[in-house]
Amino acid sequence: MAGYFELVDAPDGGYRIRMLDATGSLMAVSVPFPTKKAAVAGVAQTREIAGTGLIRDGSSDGQAAAPGPLPRPARRTLGVAGRGASAAGGSLGGKRARAHH
């Protein structure tokens, strides 16, 4: 098991999410959520961020812990119906599709 999320009562009311690793060691504690439903939505958002989020180094020395540069996000322009598109013409290859009547 990789780890788990735990919903706990927040001391000032509401709920918090605790993220624990496989050994039960605390990895992170969330902001307070007003309801359990909001906390569960917070878990879903955390999973999305953890799976796709980049690492931004805000430490005082400005050095990433891992060797090498931090990854840059891929840039992609989406055209109609989620298909990849170029900046010129809005279609792949820079050519416009023609409708045949």
Q: Pairing mode, if any, of strands 3-9 and 26-29? A: unpaired
pLDDT in tens, 4-49: 999 999 999 999 999 999 999 999 999 999 999 999 999 999 999 9
* Structural domains of the chain, ranges and CATH numbers in brackets: 3-52 (3.30.160.160)
DSSP code for 84: B
Triad 16, 56, 22: Cα angle to 5°:
45
pLDDT on residue 61: 85
- Asked whether residue 95 carries a pLDDT value surpassing 70, the answer given is no
Q: What is the pTM of this model?
A: 0.56
* Residue 51 amino acid letter: G
pLDDT in tens, 74-89: 555 454 444 444 444 4
